[in-house]
Structure 1
Amino acid sequence: MDEQQPEILRAVEHEVTALLRRGRVISWEIARGVHPDLEPNAYGLLLWLRRCDSIRLTDLAARLGIGKGTLSRQIQGLEGLGLVRRDPDPTDRRASLLRLTEEGQHRFDAARSARLGQFREKLDNWSERDVTEFAKLLRRFNEGLG
């Protein structure tokens, strides 16, 4: 990017900051929709578990870029809320597979449906092409973050 355009970078910084700030508020709301005692960061864990069906803790930690100890504590909290369970890994007796409980799936799906409804409402007057391009650019930006 041309170094002559710092105002464009400042505009990007402003919009990303606004998005992150709003995202934190939305994360609190969506987490409370899943369970009143759920931490906002945990929604992302539930999202990955819903996508994967089941996954080892070490693999999930690697995908999320967080330490196993930190993730283990977060998973224990989700287990305590009855949202996640550990099943024995059939390929390795020393390991276990994480997955959502039926209650976890039900609560997650209901909260996600509400969240997607909010997105649908906000993007309703956008063309399908614009929404597709927006998703593509967000993915590209996120992948560039590491």
Structure 2
Amino acid sequence: MDQSAREEPVNPEPTEPESFDPEFLDLERELAVFLRRARATSGELAREVHPDLEPAAYGLLTRLAHVGPQRATELAGYFGVGKATISRQLRALENVGLVEREPDPADGRAWLVRLTEEGQVRFSLVRQARRRSHRSRLASWERSEIAELARLLHRLNSAE
């Protein structure tokens, strides 16, 4: 038998199961656009806070502003990244004076990470600008539509 007859194609055509709903294809496409835009926006927002920051830094600042001081391991768990990754990102934020570490009062061996005053001010200014942008983009939406979008995104983010 000829060897080439047994080889599988290098780039086979992707196939969709016949039972796959078009709604899920639409969702996949829209989520992909949303995620691409979110990544680009995170990079822009991080650079607005400080020009040396990576895109992931904005998410860390958001989390610390929302929940207050946290251990690095808690942050790593929340974002689903390893401790080495979160340590590197926190070190970058610490190096530019946006976060600092303080002893954990519940465990003297552990450290909490918190926003510095400078970090709070810079983050707050960028967050206010971002909120104005959201209001502008959604100006033609009904408040009930905005609430429904928030509710559905929360449901999606909470699903396991």
Partner residue, 2:21: 6
* Contact 2:42–2:59 (CA under 8 A) maintained in structure 1: no
Runs (4 or more) in structure 1 with deviation over 4 Å come to none
TM-score for the superposition, normalised by structure 2: 0.84
Partner residue, 2:155: 140
Q: Kindly indicate which of the two structures has a greater share of residues assigned to helix.
A: 1
- Shift of the alpha carbon at 1:4? 4.7
Say yes or no: does 1:104 pair with 2:119.
yes
Secondary structure of the structure 2 residue equivalent to 1:126: coil
- Aligned partner letter, 1:102: E
Aligned length: 143
- Aligned partner letter, 2:77: A
Measured in 1, the distance between the counterparts of 2:43 and 2:72 equals 24
Partner residue, 1:67: 82
Measured in 1, the distance between the counterparts of 2:32 and 2:76 equals 26
The answer for unaligned runs of 5 or more in structure 1 is none
Structure with greater contact order relative to length (CA < 8 Å, sep ≥ 6): 1
Could you say what the CA RMSD is over the residues aligned between the two structures, in angstroms?
A: 1.4
Measured in 2, the distance between the counterparts of 1:5 and 1:131 equals 29
Deviations 1:5-49 (A, max 9, x none): 622111111100111111122112111110011101111111111
Larger Rg: 2
Say yes or no: does 1:122 pair with 2:122.
no
Measured in 2, the distance between the counterparts of 1:69 and 1:5 equals 39
TM-score for the superposition, normalised by structure 1: 0.92
Secondary structure of the structure 1 residue equivalent to 2:152: helix
Partner residue, 1:80: 95
Partner residue, 2:67: 52
Measured in 1, the distance between the counterparts of 2:114 and 2:150 equals 27
Say yes or no: does 1:32 pair with 2:47.
yes
Measured in 2, the distance between the counterparts of 1:67 and 1:28 equals 21
Aligned sequence identity (%): 48
